[in-house]
Structure 1
Amino acid sequence: MSAQEMIVLAMQASVMATVFGFGLTATLDDMLYVVRRPRRFARSFVAMFFVMPIVAIAPDKTFEFRHEIEVALVALALSPVPPLLLKKGGKAGGRASYALGLLVTMAILSLVVLPLGMRLLELVFDRSFALQPVAVIKVILKSIILPLAAGMAVRVLVSATAARFAGPLVTLGNLLLVAVALLVVFNSRNAIMALIGNGTLLAIAVFVVVGLAAGHWLGGPELEDRVVLGLSTASRHPGIALTLASFNYPNEHGVTAAIMLYLLVNIALSMPYVIWQQRRAAATSQSPDPAA
Structure 2
Amino acid sequence: MRVLEKLSNFVGKYMAYIVIVIAAIALFVPTTFSFLKASYINPLLMIVMFGMGLTLKLDDFKLVLSRPLEVLIGFASQFAIMPLIALSLVKIFNLPPELAVGVVLVGTCPGGTSSNVMTFLAKGDVALSVTITSFSTLFAPILTPFITKLLIGATVEVDVMSMFISIVQVVIVPIALGFVINKFFGKITEKLVKILPLVSVTAIVAIVATVVSLNSAKLMTSGLLIIAIVILHNSFGYLLGFFTARVFGLSLSKQKTIAIEVGMQNSGLATSLAATAFAQYPLATIPGAIFSVWHNISGAIIANFFAAMKDEKEETNNA
Q: What letter is aligned with 1:175?
A: T
1:183-209 CA distance string (max 9 Å, x none): 543554443332244x43322221101
**Does structure 1 residue 191 correspond to structure 2 residue 218?**
yes
* Superposition map of 1:128-167 within 5 A: 128-167=155-194
Q: What letter is aligned with 1:21?
A: L
Residues 119/52 of structure 1: CA separation in 2 closer, same or farther (3 Å cut): same
1:38-70 CA distance string (max 9 Å, x none): 322332233211222121111233321110111
**What's 1:16 paired with?**
49
Residues 153/248 of structure 1: CA separation in 2 closer, same or farther (3 Å cut): closer
Q: What letter is aligned with 1:206?
A: L
Distance in 2 (alpha carbons) for counterparts of 1:218 and 1:230: 8
1:223 positional shift: 2.9
**What's 1:3 paired with?**
37
**Does structure 1 residue 70 correspond to structure 2 residue 103?**
no
Contact 1:104 1:145 in 2 (8 A): no
**What's 2:143 paired with?**
113
Distance in 2 (alpha carbons) for counterparts of 1:2 and 1:242: 15
**Does structure 1 residue 99 correspond to structure 2 residue 129?**
yes
Distance in 2 (alpha carbons) for counterparts of 1:40 and 1:239: 26
**What's 2:243 paired with?**
217
Figure out how many residues of one structure are paired with residues of the other and give that number: 281
Contact 2:87 2:104 in 1 (8 A): yes
**What's 1:277 paired with?**
306
Structure 1 stretches of 4+ with a deviation exceeding 4 A read none
Residues 149/12 of structure 1: CA separation in 2 closer, same or farther (3 Å cut): closer
- Normalised by the length of structure 1, the TM-score is 0.82
**Does structure 1 residue 204 correspond to structure 2 residue 230?**
yes
1:92 positional shift: 2.2
Contact 1:22 1:170 in 2 (8 A): no
**What's 2:265 paired with?**
236
1:19 positional shift: 0.8
Structure 2: tracts of 5 or more residues without a match: 1-34
Residues 276/140 of structure 1: CA separation in 2 closer, same or farther (3 Å cut): same
Q: Could you tell which deviates more after superposition, 228-237 or 187-196?
A: 187-196
Residues 237/120 of structure 1: CA separation in 2 closer, same or farther (3 Å cut): same
Q: Helix, strand or coil: the match of 1:33?
A: helix
Q: What letter is aligned with 1:76?
A: V
